[in-house]
């Protein structure tokens, strides 16, 4: 037999392990998709879960950041907001590129919404909402002075948004976990290329 046929007949241990984990991921994701449609066990809560997901969407965050940037009168505030805007734009571009490469569909046949199309968040891997909330949480924890209860709520919010994407059937568990990882890496990238106050003022003056 040709070598490739022998490989199919005798799959490697890595191949078996990968396929097994993939099957577990799909099975668990379908079980957690309790709001995937109106007929699901938690179908009545779908609107509420969708609303929670919107809090992690890119368009409202970009719009809110721009409004705060216009209203901000301090150099320190403008520096943080400009870098936050950079982080949000990088998140959209990086996630869109990775999704186009992977082209993984979600566990359920759920059509993306209008906001998802605007941010090119049309595939499942990695989860754009998960990457965004992970990046935002880490950004705020590092650059804002927050009381401990608020810091805990910020982390819980990120986890709940990630879970909501699985519950409505848009993403697998691994999509969300990968999104959290990519979100943290995006935060590290923004820290590396952090724009100084002078650079931010120059960009604002051009704008």
Angle at 88 between CA 207 and CA 81, to 5 degrees: 55
Q: Is the dihedral of CA 37, 133, 156, 182 positive or negative?
A: positive
State the catalytic residue, choosing from 57, 143, 171, 172. Answer: 171
Q: Are 165 and 130 in contact (CB under 8 A)?
A: yes
What are φ and ψ of residue 148, in 5° steps?
-55, -45
Q: Is 57 a catalytic residue?
A: no
Q: Is 171 a catalytic residue?
A: yes
Q: What is the DSSP letter of 172?
A: -
State the catalytic residue, choosing from 57, 129, 143, 172. Answer: 129
Query: Which residues are marked as active site?
Result: 129, 171
């Amino acid at each position: 037999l040709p070598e490739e046929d022998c490989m199919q007949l005798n799959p490697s241990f890595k191949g078996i392990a990968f396929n097994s984990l993939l099957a577990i991921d799909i099975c668990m994701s379908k079980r957690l998709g309790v709001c995937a449609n109106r007929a699901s066990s938690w179908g009545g809560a779908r609107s509420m879960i969708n609303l929670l997901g919107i809090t992690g969407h890119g368009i409202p965050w970009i719009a809110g950041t721009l409004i705060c940037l216009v209203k901000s009168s301090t150099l320190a505030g403008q520096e943080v907001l400009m870098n936050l805007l950079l982080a949000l734009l990088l998140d959209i571009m990086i996630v869109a590129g990775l999704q186009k490469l992977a082209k993984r569909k979600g566990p359920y046949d759920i059509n993306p919404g209008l906001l998802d199309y605007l941010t090119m968040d049309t595939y499942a891997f990695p989860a754009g909402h998960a990457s965004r909330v992970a990046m935002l949480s880490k950004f705020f924890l590092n650059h804002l002075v927050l009381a401990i209860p608020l810091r805990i709520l910020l982390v819980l919010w990120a986890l709940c948004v990630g879970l909501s994407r699985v519950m409505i059937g848009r993403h697998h568990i691994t999509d969300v976990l990968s999104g959290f990882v990519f979100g943290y890496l995006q935060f590290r990238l923004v820290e590396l290329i952090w724009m100084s106050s002078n650079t931010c003022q120059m960009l604002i003056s051009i704008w």
